[in-house]
Amino acid sequence: MRFSLKHLLAWTAAVALAVGIMIRPAGLLASALGTTTFGILLFSIAAIFASNRSGRAFWIAFAVVGWGILLVPLYFDHGPQSPTFALVATVADFLMPYQQGDVDGDKFGPTFYAMHSMLGLASGYVAGCLNRTLYRRRESESKVGD
């Protein structure tokens, strides 16, 4: 699997923003990351229709997994029983054991929501890359059989 320089820079910037939010939780930064995540996921729906075959395979997996991770907590009413929130809470406890839950009256705080947004994007990207690789492998195997 090959990565372009622009993908490396984009992911480096996203991780830097997420780490910055974890170090100094600010509602504005967490909101910016959540809005960016929402925008990227909306773009992924449009990209499904505008892409070629392998690109479409990437964007379908990206959209399904990304939206799935972001929408699962809505089913559980933002409670700790949500599987994605439980995963983020476990990672947050490991990375930041000194922070307690209630920040500005919010049950989870901006750090928690920023990590959840990053989980949606990162999982969508990994699923998209995997789906594109599987699609290309299937295409190459079907051409060999012809």
Convert the pLDDT of each residue in 68-123 to its tens digit: 888 877 776 655 567 777 777 777 667 666 555 544 445 567 777 777 888 888 88
Convert the pLDDT of each residue in 10-68 to its tens digit: 878 877 877 777 677 677 777 888 888 889 999 999 999 998 888 899 999 999 999 98
* pLDDT at residue number 103: 47
Residue 137 has pLDDT above 80, yes or no: yes
> pTM for this structure?
0.75
* pLDDT at residue number 76: 66
H, E, C per residue of the chain: CCCCHHHHHHHHHHHHHHHHHHHCCCHHHHHHHHHHHHHHHHHHHHHHHHCCHHHHHHHHHHHHHHHHHHHHHHHCCCCCCCHHHHHHHHHHHHHCCCCCCCECCECCHHHHHHHHHHHHHHHHHHHHHHHHHHHHHHHHHHHHHC
Rounded CA-CA distance 38/102 in Å is: 25
